[in-house]
Structure 1
Amino acid sequence: MGSDKYIASLDVGTTTIRCFIFDTDLKIRGAATERVHLLNPQPGYFEIDPTDLWESIVVAITNAIREARLTAADITCLGISTQRCSFITWDKDTEEYFHNFITWKDLRADSLVKQWNSSIRLRLLNSAAYVLYLITRSKRFLAGALLKLMNGQITLRLLWQMKNNEKLKSAIERKTALCGTLDSWLLYKLRKVRGSKEAVEHISDITSCTATGLYDPFTLGWAGWALNMFSINPEILPRVVESNYNFGYVHESIFGARIRITCSMSDQSCSLWGSNCFADGDIKMTLGTGSFMNVYTNKYCHASVHGLYPLVAWQFRRNGVNDTVFCIEGSVNDTGSMINWAINFGLFDDPARSSSIAESVPDSDGVYFIPAFSGLGPPINDIQAGTGFIGLRSSTRQPHLVRALLESIAFRIAQLFYCTSSETNYKFSRIKVDGGVSKNDFLCQTLADITGVRVERSKFSESSALGAAFVAGLNANIWPSQTHLEKFYSIDKVFLPREEMKCKYMQLIGEWEQAVERFKKWYVGAK
């Protein structure tokens, strides 16, 4: 195919903003990276300044277009991939922000999480769901019977703001408040005429909405029970749109020419596209700031009893009918963040070297590490767990600590895999991995050994950006079909499971789980 059409793909993550300019052969013509400045005003608070974020996004897109030796007028379309569950509120009349972005890693609502999870109202909800399960035998109601609120969801962080932010409370009373995830805010900013009073649609793609905790993937709408329980007015929330919605254009005042927006999806849904996960049971692991395991379940919305999350993978409107497919997700909040901590702590100075350091010793010398800066998610589900090493000896050296840390990341990811295997009928033959941390050979090989499944590392590690380009190009009719994209997926390296190592790791992961028990509920009663 010719290369006279160009796709700009923007990926706004937790720590990095990346923009790539692809041609129709999926060759990168230009690229730019900007850092996201994560603010930590006090322990447990993780914020992003929206003004700083916007300026960095504009710089990233501008620099990528410039590196490609193009102008904005040459860009055929723009695809957007964004982190989920980071939110902001603002006044639709004055455009005043009521606070910084509250990111998905933020723990300020932790006391509310504990309060609500032990409340009579939630217990009644759980009991009612269990009764319905006994009557219907529907796993959806069984999952409801085990429902617990989490910090990663928007719900209680938004409630915290509604209780503590006077400007937001006043705007809600005036009915001028808007609440948006990063994607809905970005769509608002990109299409807004500077200084204009003209209203802009407040919308969000369904793949971002479905992860908030306020959206019901089974009914495909905002969850009325949640909005009522937490007294959240649905008018402040964006209108939910499908993944091939007509998102409009970037206003010409920003880059000098209009750019058509043909994709705005959550990062993990984009990653499924970038990893070519289109068959029932296809599984991918994105190893970035956190680890996200997603399994494509097609038309089936899976109700988990272990805390895995049923999500809308994507939704396309064709011939007036919405075609919706689903996935299930398990997440580990601390992956790349653990690598960064280890660097700051002095365990190693280069993430690329951590693999060889870990391989320089045959084992961790009985040392185990618990990676729980943001608590431990499914299937452990303990937000009060502590982080630390255990089992240190006089013989313990730096490589043992590095190996223990990397093994702990693999153990947590393997737990998600085991959980999914036990809950579903899928027979997994391979795991596709992507993300910055996937470049670590030791971690990928360990994951293959523990799971007993072939691990394939994508040649292009930024699968979210690649997926956004795929969807943007399809919606812009640059490519004829989804199957046409399969030729663009390429493997960098394959890690085959070693049977002798699986037996060894089965024992180690059991001992590691005993160590986890020592760190569970560590922060009970802590301020």
Structure 2
Amino acid sequence: MADFILAIDQGTTGSTVALVDSQGQLCASVNVEFPQIFPKPGWVEHEPEAIWSSVQKALSRLLRKKLCKPSDIAAIGITNQRETSVVWDRRSGEVLHNAIVWQCRRTADFCETLRAKGHEDLVRERSGLVLDPYFSASKFRWLLREVPAAKRALKAGALAAGTVDSFLLWRLTSGEQHATDVSNAARTSLMNLKNLRWDPELLRLFEVPEGILPEIRPSSGVLGHTRGVRGLPDGIPIAGIAGDQQAALFGQACFSAGDAKCTYGTGSFIVMNTGSERILSKSGLLTTIGWQLDKQDPVYALEGGAFVCGAAVQWLRDGLKLIKRAPDIEALAASVPDHGGVEFVPALTGLGAPHWAPDARGLITGITRGSDRGHIARATLDAMALQNVDILRCMEADLGKRMRPLRVDGGAAANDLLMQIQADYLGRKLVRPRITETTVAGASYLAGIGVGLWSNTAQIKRIWQPEREFSVDISAAKRRQRMQSWQAAVDQTLVKAIPD
């Protein structure tokens, strides 16, 4: 009986393929990393073929575990790094350039030009997003203008462009489907949040032809079927797609307005379900789509993201060589009682919400003769948490009320010290679920609902279970003092971000 879901979680540094059973439990997962490409300062790329190869390798290794027969897979769900942009040839399937990654800042000048011309209000009102190189629209424009092969394919009517989900769907269906879901389309700056269609005025503004873009579909429901995928039979429905943060929101069973989660990955992202209401932020946050189930109205959300979270730990490991393995950060940070006055603002690829300063660069300050590796490690964990406090305060200002206990997930959510720091600085209880890889869970649940393995979100809510809670353990006065020190460091970073 086909009662397993195969989930593909395509992330910034690697691809995970996982198997989830009909009870919503994770049976196994395999992760395969791929190289990061940095052609110039502030530029970040991925090779799309390396992404596809990492998915294939992870799938092959998972199937070798023989936890089920391939014919037992009822559906496939996809979740992905969102704004990363890919172009390929519809005729041959050939990739025409490296993918431009969501972290890449190469289009900052163009976005600033649009802002100077007064277009930001239009972009925000239509798409819910700010004018920033983070989003896909300016990346598509760059690819269309700067890549000769893309120009030739466009002229021949053979160009396809999309985010990573649409590229994976194309490959999984051997080119039969060029589609995306509403949650990924909402991150391009090209979709109208009201009617969930590509917006003609935004397309003109960013000089992106609608014909190269994927069809926009609900997040749950059959979008295509496997064809020619090594190790899998033809005909398995791909029945769920959501951007990674929206998948995590769904996987955390945040189904009621006011429910929120924070995912700690390469970046960190707080997303709050706002139900049927589109709240346009006045505090530098983003209005987006949470998900849309087939034949239902969309669920909206508010989001704030910090570009660098786990990536800061990777930098300590790979750049500064302070630790050998990423998990070593917890013990090193715990070797000191606090940050000792050291502040690290990890603006390694600019600052995201609520500052939106693409030219900002990282800053370490407050170092003395008494500072050591432990203080830098502790300042890094503090920064990962403090960025989220800035976002939360803006979110509560937009909502006009306090947030409920925050649900946490992602790789760094396993770090107990970080979670306690986060609860202390937020002044809110945190709840960590038993399954912290909630992007995988969300993709699986959407796909399962899409093929009828589960009938509704009420069934999913019964699957979700808490593992541990973290309560606030510092005074309000100490929290205010810590925030003042952090804000002073952020202010220094923003001053340095002002162009000469």
The bucket for the TM-score relative to the shorter chain is over 0.9
Which residue in 1 is equivalent to 2:480? 506
Which residue in 2 is equivalent to 1:494? 469
In the TM superposition, what whole-angstrom CA distance separates every residue of 1:343-380 from its partner, at most 9, and x where no partner exists? 12122333333223323322222111111011112222
Q: 8 Å contact 2:120–2:131 — kept in the other structure?
A: no
**Secondary structure at the residue paired with 1:417?**
helix
Q: What are structure 1's unaligned runs of at least 5 residues?
A: 130-138, 193-198
Which moved further from structure 2: 286-295 or 299-308?
A: 299-308
Q: 8 Å contact 1:31–1:63 — kept in the other structure?
A: no
Which residue in 2 is equivalent to 1:358? 333
**Secondary structure at the residue paired with 2:396?**
helix
2:113 to 108, 112, 115: 115
Structure 1's 299 and 128: CA in aligned 2 closer, same or farther, altered over 3 A? closer
Structure 1's 54 and 128: CA in aligned 2 closer, same or farther, altered over 3 A? closer
In the TM superposition, what whole-angstrom CA distance separates every residue of 1:214-241 from its partner, at most 9, and x where no partner exists? 1121332222222112222111111111
Q: Distance in 2 between matches of 1:255 and 1:73?
A: 10
Which residue in 2 is equivalent to 1:154? 136
Q: 8 Å contact 2:132–2:356 — kept in the other structure?
A: no
Q: Quote the RMSD (CA, aligned, Å).
A: 2.2
The one-letter code matched in structure 2 to 1:212 is T
Which residue in 2 is equivalent to 1:136? none
2:182 to 184, 206, 209: 206
Which residue in 2 is equivalent to 1:323? 297
Q: Distance in 1 between matches of 2:91 and 2:288?
A: 33
2:101 to 92, 100, 103: 103
Q: Distance in 1 between matches of 2:50 and 2:70?
A: 22
4+ aligned runs moved over 4 Å, structure 1:
126-129, 523-526
1:44-443 equivalent positions in 2, closer than 5 A? 44-118=42-116, 120=117, 123=118, 125=119, 140=125, 148-192=130-174, 200-252=176-228, 254-258=230-234, 259-318=236-295, 322-344=296-318, 345-443=320-418
The one-letter code matched in structure 2 to 1:485 is I
1:449 to 416, 424, 440: 424
Structure 1's 276 and 126: CA in aligned 2 closer, same or farther, altered over 3 A? closer
Q: CA deviation at 1:513?
A: 0.9
- TM-score w.r.t. the length of structure 2 is 0.94
Q: 8 Å contact 1:203–1:238 — kept in the other structure?
A: yes
Q: Distance in 2 between matches of 1:523 and 1:415?
A: 18
Structure 1's 287 and 253: CA in aligned 2 closer, same or farther, altered over 3 A? closer
Q: Distance in 2 between matches of 1:481 and 1:128?
A: 36
Q: Distance in 2 between matches of 1:127 and 1:58?
A: 42
Q: What are structure 2's unaligned runs of at least 5 residues?
A: none
**Secondary structure at the residue paired with 2:303?**
strand
- TM-score w.r.t. the length of structure 1 is 0.89
The one-letter code matched in structure 2 to 1:449 is D
Who wins on radius of gyration, i.e. which is larger?
Answer: 1
Q: Distance in 2 between matches of 1:449 and 1:158?
A: 41
Q: Distance in 1 between matches of 2:16 and 2:100?
A: 21
Q: 8 Å contact 1:21–1:68 — kept in the other structure?
A: no
In the TM superposition, what whole-angstrom CA distance separates every residue of 1:454-486 from its partner, at most 9, and x where no partner exists? 101122121000111111112221223211122
Aligned-pair identity (%): 26
In the TM superposition, what whole-angstrom CA distance separates every residue of 1:136-181 from its partner, at most 9, and x where no partner exists? xxx959x98xx74211101212222222112212222222211111
